[in-house]
A and B are shown apart, each in its own frame.
Chain A
Amino acid sequence: MRAIFLLQWQRLRREPFLLLSMFVLTVVFVLFMGGTNPNGEATIPTTFSQSMTENEKSDLLDELNQLEGYNFVESNEQNVIEEKIALGEVAFGLSLKTDGYTFLIATDNPNQAIVEQHLQSIYREKVRIVQVMQNSSDQDIAPKIQANLESPPILVEAQVGETNEDFFVFDNQLQSLFGMTLFFVIYTVVFSLSKVAEEKQLGSWNRIIISPTKKWQVYGGYLSYAFIIGFLQIFVIFFMFDNLLNFDLGNNWLGLIMIMIAYTFTIVALGLLLLAFVSKTSQLNAVVPIVAVSMAMIGGAYWPIEIVDNPIVLQLANFMPIKYAMEALKEITIYQGVITDIIPETLILFAMGIVMMGVGIPLMEKR
């Protein structure tokens, strides 16, 4: 087993291109999708109706900018915003009036729902004050409301919900980091395992099989290599983004490592299962992108699963290992969960891996 394991590293040393390209692609995609903004904020250009005073504009802008992770910037021309949206420079823009708002969009964006929620709460309060003022006979109601708002009789510190089931926090940086890393590691792991298919074509597999080396040692060598290479890719990328690029992964590295181990194990098992269905490397090259992309789309690697409401897609997502890994990673980082919180996801991942390996190895042997 050791000889086969070491052989893979020796071969990697001579031909590291594929592995390095997966690493670089992950970094590029994470930076492109989640981290091009130095503050990690999404910029939203905003225009105001001409009837609004400068004070009203500035107050509203301040209120909008209380939403973490977003930078609302005043823009004078609506057509400039529309042009930026058309060119893809910004995801969407806002056109604000005293009593209402309009989204300027080209395509749906996960940020939109969060911004809308924020806007709704601001405008609801505004409308309520206007209604109170209209219904009151008191001439001095406006300064009274203003005074009460500034020093309320009771200060309420509200926290919505108790678990992540009740609310959903969207962190674009972590979503991109987790999604892209888990997506690209599928390629790394499966292509590392594809050496088995290559060896079968090459004839060296037969040489190994008729040697006194036991079959479990042969599989052990390949699987442990694929596992370690996959684990290291996730670990190094997470570590790099946390320490060098200031992505906030929190301090629960033990929990993160647990998820990395469970997910990599499942992907190794998935790779083995795919290998059992193909007989040539070229077939594997065709199958891997289909499996990886569909898994990432359904499992919530490209966009948060929380914004999906199609029941069929949600049902399908339950069969995707990536969904459980994403959930567990968000639990540990965004929701600051503890290890016991991620045990269910970790166990599901391990169970999936065991089932896939249980099917994959006998199928491969049969072929």
Chain B
Amino acid sequence: MLETIGLKKTFKRHVAVDDANLLLKKGESIGLLGPNGAGKSTLISMIETLIKPTEGDVTWNEKSIIKQPDLLRPVLGVVPQEIALYKELSAYENVKFFGKIYKLTGKELEERAEAVLKLVGLSDRQKDLVKTFSGGMQRRLNIAVALLHEPEVIIMDEPTVGIDPQSRNYILEMVRDLNREQGLTVLYTSHYMEEVERLCDRIYIMDNGKVIANGTKEELIAILSEEESIELVLEKPISTFKEALEMEPSILRVTQESNGLKLIVPKNNRKLTRIFQLAEQHDASITNVNIQIPSLEDVFLHLTGKKLRD
């Protein structure tokens, strides 16, 4: 069981993480969401024992790893956001080097290297230089390296950034199998809400250095149980129409979408007639209207005031 207790990190006057409490039970898969600059990376770095917190503690099986990082390090796998590989070396050479620094030797090292390369589907390209790999293949190898020493916990920091949908799907399936079938405990951060929804048992949402909500997907969506969203598809954007909607007391929030506007309104109080009246007044041509129950994305927007990929 990995736990952070009242974790705080300040850099000079800037508070990067403030009173963060996070619990990762054995075999659980946890998603960590937050806009850019929310403090996710700092929180992860403290859990990974890379930086020391200003206040608070991180425990592994109820023992502090701030004082004894070696309790966690041998059972921790880390997939950083960057492609932390030597691109001038082959896939096999990379895997072998990282195996050696985890004190794997001889036959055991050979077997583990083969196993992880097979797991990420790179067995047939193992002798090729990493710089010749596609982005997706490099990401897969980045994960393979973290799994070499058979960790109990894996921390993945946006492991699917900038790759094609097929590779992304491959990685998500692989992580889900590792979690569900092999009992690997996963802490996963992503900018893709659907990834976290698909993979994680529980989700933590961070903003401005604080954990502002946590729970299962259903629990989080329940925060918006009193609200619903209306998506208006417009022929062309009309700024005065948006401003008029924002002034309307029955509309809680208006956000600009690529093809129109998204309104959050109280449940059972849609006032569609009023919306159409305003559209007519401002010469806004509505081509489509969708009424939706809130999604995790809406919860995120509700809590942070920002979109996840802002």
Contacts and interface: CB of A to CB of B under 8 A. Distances in A.
A128 interface: no
Nearest to B99: A3
Interface residues of B, number: 27
Contacts of A11: 86, 88-89
Given A3-B97, A3-B101, A203-B80, A209 B50 contact: yes
B151 to A, nearest CB: 11
A211 B82 CA distance: 17
A206 B44 CA distance: 12
Given A10-B89, A202-B84, A210-B48, A3 B73 contact: no
Interface string A205-216: 011111111000
Nearest to B105: A3
A212 B70 contact: yes
Nearest to B74: A212
Interface string A1-21: 001100100110011000000
B78 interface: yes
Contacts, number: 61
B98 interface: yes
Contacts of B76: 210
B73 A204 contact: no
A7 B97 contact: yes
A207 to B, nearest CB: 5
Nearest to A218: B101
B93 interface: yes
A207 B100 contact: no
A31 to B, nearest CB: 31
B137 interface: no
Nearest to B145: A207
A14 B80 contact: no
B49 interface: yes
A313 to B, nearest CB: 40
A121 B88 CA distance: 63
A201 B48 CA distance: 17
B81 A203 contact: yes
A211 B101 contact: yes
B84 A3 contact: no
B103 interface: yes
Contacts of A204: 84-86
A207 B73 contact: no
B102 interface: yes
Contacts of B80: 203, 206-207
B73 A212 contact: yes
Contact of B73 (A4, A7, A10, A211): A211
Interface in A193-243: 201-204, 206-213
A207 B76 CA distance: 10
Contacts of B49: 210
Interface of B: 48-50, 69-70, 73-74, 76, 78, 80-86, 88-89, 93, 97-98, 100-103, 129, 145
28 contacts: A3-B97, A3-B100, A3-B101, A7-B86, A10-B97, A11-B86, A11-B89, A14-B89, A14-B129, A201-B82, A202-B82, A202-B85, A203-B80, A203-B81, A203-B82, A203-B83, A204-B85, A206-B50, A206-B84, A207-B80, A207-B84, A207-B101, A210-B48, A210-B49, A211-B73, A211-B101, A211-B102, A213-B101
Given A207-B84, A207-B98, 6 more contacts: A14-B89, A202-B84, A210-B76, A211-B101, A211-B102, A212-B73
10 A-B pairs with the lowest CB-CB distances in the bound complex, closest first:
A203-B84, A203-B82, A3-B100, A203-B80, A14-B88, A204-B84, A211-B101, A213-B101, A210-B73, A7-B97
